[in-house]
Structure formats: structure tokens, C-alpha cells
A and B are shown apart, each in its own frame.
Chain A
Amino acid sequence: MRTFIVLLQKELLQIRRNSFLPKLILVFPIMVMLVIPLFTTMDVRNVNVVVVDFDRSTASRRIVSHIEASEYLSLMGVTSEYGVAMKQLEQGKADVVVQVPNHFERDMAISDADKISITANAVNATKGSMGTQYIVQTIARTLQELQGERNPRQMSELVTVQNRFNPTLNYRHYMIPALMIILFILVCGFLPALSIVGEKESGTIEQINVTPVGRMTFTLSKLLPYWVIGLFVLTVAMIVAWLVYGLTPAGSIGLIYLGAALFILTISGFSLTIANFSETMQQTMFVMFFFIMIFMLMSGLLTPIDSMPDWAQKFTIILPPRYFVEILRSVYLKGTTFVELWTNYLALGIFAIIFNLLAAITYKKQA
């Protein structure tokens, strides 16, 4: 026990002596939480639209003015030549071309009339599909309006939409829990691994290995400081989310910390295992990056798991962050309770045990 305390003191002393680490621990979460939500957004705005108006009727002018008024669409121009519009699309000046056929208004009621055609640049698939959807909505609204004016009794809303848990469809609220997890992976995943490999590079681990210090004790002394730092980083991130974005957890804070504690254990055990297999910091960094890429892209951090192909969804079962993403999002936004989430906690617990055992086994005092 005394040995452990001594090792721990040494670890804390080294972190404090480090000219960079304490600043990183404090500034990094604040920066990430302050800056990244401002520009990472899946909302598609500023879709540039060119209208090819062959009809030149009240209806087509109404469509143009609605496009102009939309906060998501910006009208680049109205032309009567399809070629001109296509050129603009090719040059990237326009994202979507809307073509209103001749006699559109006159033939509107006839079922086999020429249709409005929408051509979108789908290089950015999200922007293409969202832009097209906005335009379809705008046109539908315009037509509904026109119809309503002609026949006021028919006007009725058939559909109402309600967005639960994130009523304003604020993408930031979706992103903030994800950012907290990214912070976790970086602070608790990278730092302990680098700390161990650093000792390998400087040869100090050799000097520790000829002492009677057990490998469990040594490993634990490397982990504990980063657990505490991880929880501190989470707290800072939660405070920033509350003060800056007004986002407070809808569910219990205790549940968040419980999930966080299990996740920290998992990710730091994982990083220690990698550290045990690498000889230099460079190796550790690259291997960690490889896994972090998979974690970020496949754990539902940025894109929903439900929209992945079937085999990929099955694969995510072995990705620990997936469970914490679910916990953090549903507790933060929906106020979900432990009863509904216990399988996720169990999964994290199992991963924590597996990775830490692996870390302890692969830490060699002898070769």
C-alpha cells in the first residue's frame, strides 16, 4: 500500500512538473466545448438555388419568392435557359436547379401535366438530399397556399410534427454529449498510454522492473491519476454545456458519472494494452489513432448506428464507446433511467474488466 502511494505521488508530481499537461487538462475541454459546437452542424444552410422559369406565371413567381424567403435556401437567380442554370451547377455556383415547365399553372390540375423538375449537385450527399427536400417542402407549401386561396374551405393541416427531447432540432444538443466522449477518449485514452511508453523510451521502466514492485500496483498507479483527470474533464465540460449552451442533463447526474467511471476504466485499460505492445510513443500514437478513428466513426458519435448496414451494426457491439454514447445521450437529452440502460452499464463493466485484465497480463516484467 505504501509503495502504491509512493508511485501515485511520483505520478502526480510528474504531471504537475510537466510544462504542458496541466494546461492541456484544463484548457482542452473548455476549448473543445466552446468552439466545436459552433461550427459542427448537420443543418444544411445556404443551399444556392437557380430557378429556370419557363412558365412565368403567378405560381412560378410565388415559388421563387418563397425560395428567396427561406432561411435555408438562397436564390442565385432566375433564368429562362436551362443551359445557363446547368452551367452554374457545374461550376459549383448553384447547388440545386429548379425547373418550372411551361403552362405549369394552367395545367396544374391536370394529372399528366409537365412536372417541376429538381436537379441537385449530390457531391455532398447530405447537402444534395436536404436541399432537395427543402425545395420540395417549399414548393408543396406554395401550391397548398395557392389552392387554399382558390378554395379556402379545403385548407387544413393534415400532418403535425413534434420533435421530442430536442424540440428545436438543435444539432448542438446532439453533438455536446459526443464531444464529451471524444474528450474522454483523448484524455483517458492517450495520456496513460503515452505515460507508460514514455517510461519505456527513457528507460525508467527498466529501473522500476528490477524493484519488487508488482505489475498490478505499477499499472494502477498509472491509471488512477487519469481517472480523476477524466472525471474532472467531464465536470468542466458539463459546466460549459450548462453555462454556454444551457444544456443540463434531463436525467440523473449520478448515472452520467457512473457511466463515465466505467467508460474511463475501459478506455484506459485499452490504451494500456496498446502501450504494452509498443516500444515508442510514435507507435502508440498511430495504433491509438487507428482505433480512435473506428470509435469515432462507428460508435454512433457522429452518425446514428441505426443507419449503418446490418453487418456494421453487429460490429458495433464490440465497440465500448457505443454503449457510453447511448448512455450519455439518453440520460442527457431524454432523462432515461438506469432500468432502461442497465444492459449498457453491464456491457461497459465487462469491457472494463476485459481490457484491464489484458493490460495487466501483457505488462511484462520479464521477456
Chain B
Amino acid sequence: MSAIVVDNLSKSFGAVKALDSVSFEVERGELFGLIGPDGAGKTTLFRLLTTLLNPDEGGAVVDGYDIVKDYLSIRSRVGYMPGRFSLYPDLTVEENLDFFAALFGVTVEESYDLVAPIYSHIEPFRTRRAGKLSGGMKQKLALSCALIHRPSVLFLDEPTTGVDAVSRSEFWDMLAGLKERGITILVSTPYMDEASRCDRIALCNEGRILGVDTPQGIVERFDSPLYAVSADNMFALLESSRKVEGVEECYPFGEAHHLVANEKFDLERYKTQLSDIENLNIVPTKPTIEDMFIKLMKR
């Protein structure tokens, strides 16, 4: 059976609906990504699944246990790494690890083989206070602490936020390693480029899930012609492109603008209409997850 089953889960904070009837399933041993901007309800979902919050409606099952009824069993079975560094800054690296191991009734030695690929990076600094570590090292320590009791499901809330590009890629390699050991991983990130490292992803926005698929599947669902356009005056280009008939959307995307066309779009007509814009360059391009996200969001 699935490692995580979320069924119509809803949670409101006052008038704000943080989660609105969310449902999805995560297979055992899967690396599942929740992709969405800030305020999409990712953290609320994590807090519900780690039994820190109770749902208003709906329910969820983690590793076969209900998040409301069997919350105690879940706590000894899952590892949680909150978005904000929340280990004891006044304890050393080693003390933090020992402390969390002891809380779960295990020793560091018992789980050393599991945490070693991660912990070995920070072991040279084991007598340093956790508060004095760099961002990337804090993240590795937090992951080690979340893994110390050999959880079957790992919840990582925006683990790569505020970490440099090299450490981010290194971190995803570590997650891939953990996946090989059979651990189910639910990870959230606001970075679309990290989505391709997941087995499957859920695109979420404003408390709702817009779509669940493999990164490849998500991209393939993009069924409109997509162009990358650029010119000297990028701002004027954006303004004028949006007025052309047949242009569904035009939005800044890295160095170029992405232009989503519909069936009324005619390339030649577009070029003539924008002839007063210098150095106009338009080429077809492949959609990315971000394009899909923008499309789903507009719908």
C-alpha cells in the first residue's frame, strides 16, 4: 500500500483557507515533490502529516497510521525537517545528534550507516555549536537528525531554501541516496528546476493541487505551441506581444520571454506587427515545469 495517502484534507486558519480538499498518494520508496510558491499551503500540509496540526476536514494516512488517531505511532516513524533551522543552536553538532537519537531511544552507532553519507560532511565540525554552522552544514545536520531513528517516511519542508546552488545539487544527490535505501521522501520546494529530480511532483497553489504527475508527464501535458522571444527592448516587447492576436500569454522567463500561442497565432503576422521592435528574435522552445505551472495557475 501507499506510504502516504492524503484524502480531501482541509485546514483553515481563521478566514484563510490554507489547504482546500487536497488529495494525493505517495508510493512507498518514492521521492515525491510538492512544487509551489510561498503561501501554497506546503508547510501546513507538512504540519498536518507530521501530526503537529489537526485537520478541519478529511484525513490522511502515513505509513499505515491515521494522522489523528495514531499520531503517537506516526511520530516514531517519520522524520521531519522544518523549513526553518530548528535544532539547538547552543548545543554542538554531536550533542544535537546524540540528543535526538536519545529522544527516539536509539544510539547514533545503530543508525550510523544510514546517516554517514550526510553526517560525514559535517563530522569534522562535530564540536562546533550548531548555531555557528554555515547554511549548508545546518541543513545537513538537520537532515542527519531527522534520519537518526531510521524513519520510513521523511518530510522535508523547503530544505534547499537559502542554500547555495552547489550545496543544493549535493543535497538532491543525498536524497537520491536515501531513496535507494527505501525511504519514502516528501519534499517541498519553491524552485521549479529542482522538480526534475523527483519521481513525481504535485504542483500546488493557494491551498489546492493543480496536478500530479512525473516531471516528464507534467511537461508533456503542455499542449500549446511555445516560443522564446527576445529583443533589445524587452519591456516593449512584452507589452506589444500581449496585444497580438493569437497570443495566449507572454511572460518573462529568464533571459527571454515565453510566449504561449493558441490556434489563431500566425508567426509571420506576429513579426510584421512587431516590426518596429529592433532585433526581434522568435524561436520555438520546449516547455518546462514552470511553463506548465503558469498555465495551470491561470486556468
For chain A, the count of residues having a C-beta within 8 Å of the partner chain is 23
Residues of A within 8 A of B102 (CB): 2-3, 6
> Is A58 close to B, CB under 8 A?
no
CB distance from B271 to the nearest CB of A (A): 55
| Residue of B54, B90, B91, B95 ringed by the most chain A CB atoms within 10 A | B90
Query: Which residues of B from 102 to 155 have beta carbons under 8 Å from A?
Result: 102-105, 145
A210 touches B50 (CB 8 A): yes
Q: Closest chain B residue to A10 by CB distance?
A: B99
Binding-face segment, A13-21, A32-40, A48-56, A136-144: A13-21
* Per-residue interface assignment for chain A, residues 270 to 286, with 1 indicating a CB less than 8 Å from any chain B CB and 0 otherwise: 00000000000000000
Contacts A3-B105, A211-B75 given; indicate if A366 touches B89 (C-beta within 8 A): no
* Per-residue interface assignment for chain B, residues 67 to 105, with 1 indicating a CB less than 8 Å from any chain A CB and 0 otherwise: 000011001101010101111111100010001101111
> Is A203 close to B, CB under 8 A?
yes
B71 touches A17 (CB 8 A): no
Interface of B is mostly: loop
Cβ-defined partner of A212 (8 Å) among B80, B104, B145: B104
Residues of B within 8 A of A206 (CB): 52, 82, 86
> Is B51 close to A, CB under 8 A?
yes
Q: Closest chain A residue to B73 by CB distance?
A: A212
> Is B236 close to A, CB under 8 A?
no
> Is B297 close to A, CB under 8 A?
no
Query: Which residues of A from 148 to 187 have beta carbons under 8 Å from B?
Result: none
Give chain B's interface residue range (CB within 8 Å of chain A). 20 to 34
B88 touches A10 (CB 8 A): yes
> Is A208 close to B, CB under 8 A?
yes
Contacts A202-B86, A367-B52 given; indicate if A13 touches B75 (C-beta within 8 A): no
* Per-residue interface assignment for chain A, residues 194 to 217, with 1 indicating a CB less than 8 Å from any chain B CB and 0 otherwise: 000000001110111111110000
B52 touches A209 (CB 8 A): yes
Residues of A within 8 A of B90 (CB): 13-14, 17-18
Contacts A3-B103, A211-B103, A211-B104 given; indicate if A204 touches B87 (C-beta within 8 A): yes
> Is B267 close to A, CB under 8 A?
no
Residues of B within 8 A of A10 (CB): 88, 91, 95, 99
Report Cα–Cα, A76/B121, bound state, in Å. Answer: 81
> Is B274 close to A, CB under 8 A?
no
A6 touches B99 (CB 8 A): yes
B80 touches A210 (CB 8 A): yes
Residues of B within 8 A of A208 (CB): 103
Report Cα–Cα, A13/B102, bound state, in Å. Answer: 15
B100 touches A202 (CB 8 A): no
> Is B294 close to A, CB under 8 A?
no
Cβ-defined partner of B91 (8 Å) among A14, A210, A366: A14
CB distance from A351 to the nearest CB of B (A): 31
B86 touches A207 (CB 8 A): yes
Residues of B within 8 A of A211 (CB): 75-76, 100, 103-104
CB distance from B218 to the nearest CB of A (A): 30
Residues of B within 8 A of A367 (CB): 52-54
B80 touches A207 (CB 8 A): yes
Q: Closest chain B residue to A218 by CB distance?
A: B103
CB distance from B94 to the nearest CB of A (A): 12
Residues of B within 8 A of A13 (CB): 90-91, 95
CB distance from B128 to the nearest CB of A (A): 13
Report Cα–Cα, A239/B39, bound state, in Å. Answer: 58
The 4 A-B residue pairs whose C-beta atoms are closest, nearest first, are A203-B86, A6-B102, A211-B103, A210-B80
User: Can you show 21 pairs from A to B with CB atoms below 8 A apart?
Assistant: A2-B102, A10-B88, A10-B91, A10-B95, A14-B91, A203-B84, A204-B88, A206-B82, A207-B82, A207-B86, A207-B87, A211-B100, A211-B103, A211-B104, A212-B72, A212-B76, A212-B104, A366-B51, A366-B52, A366-B54, A367-B52
Further 19 A-B residue pairs, CB within 8 A, beyond A17-B91, A203-B84, A206-B52: A6-B103, A10-B95, A13-B91, A14-B88, A14-B90, A202-B86, A202-B89, A203-B82, A204-B86, A204-B88, A206-B82, A209-B52, A210-B75, A210-B80, A211-B103, A212-B72, A212-B76, A365-B52, A367-B54
